[in-house]
Structure 1
Amino acid sequence: MLSAKQEVTELLRRLPDDCTLEDIQYHLYVMEKLRKGREDIALGRGYLNSEAKQRLDRWLES
């Protein structure tokens, strides 16, 4: 597992030289959301697609 600094370094290496600070912030935001999502799944805090659809259907009916 890479450290946060290593992950950011790798991200900066992959981004084009003309990217903006906003581009970097967006990519960091997405990386963090994916990390948290994977952590939630590993801890059993996720939903199967069928469960998510049922929850969404109930929410949209309200």
Structure 2
Amino acid sequence: MSTKQEVIELIKNLPDDVTIDDIMEGLYKKAQIEEAIYEIDQGKGSSHEKVREHFNKWLK
């Protein structure tokens, strides 16, 4: 599916009273998720254990 088609589907599934800000937020979140998936596929992600260690240090 093309990016254009994906955006159209995203908008079709939103309620009729959606705002432009809601649409922009949805597109931004979708772009961030796609970027994260790409980075994970490229081996750039962190393991669950590494993230847990980071948060444990951060939350102390």
Query: What's the TM-score once normalised by structure 1's chain length?
Result: 0.82
Q: Which residue of 1 aligns with 2:20?
A: 21
% identity of equivalent residues = 35
| Distance (whole Å) between structure 1 residues aligned to residue 18 and residue 57 of structure 2 | 42
Where in structure 2 are there 5+ consecutive unaligned residues? none
Where in structure 1 are there 5+ consecutive unaligned residues? none
User: SS of the counterpart of 1:15?
Assistant: coil
| Distance (whole Å) between structure 1 residues aligned to residue 39 and residue 54 of structure 2 | 18
Q: Which residue of 2 aligns with 1:12?
A: 11
User: SS of the counterpart of 2:16?
Assistant: coil
Higher relative CO (Cα under 8 Å, sequence separation at least 6) belongs to 1
Bigger Cα displacement from structure 2, 49-58 vs 17-26: 49-58
Query: Is 1:33–2:32 an aligned residue pair?
Result: yes
Large movers: runs of 4+ above 6 Å? none
Query: What's the TM-score once normalised by structure 2's chain length?
Result: 0.85
Question: How many aligned residue pairs are there?
Answer: 60
Query: 1:49 Cα deviation (Å)?
Result: 1.0
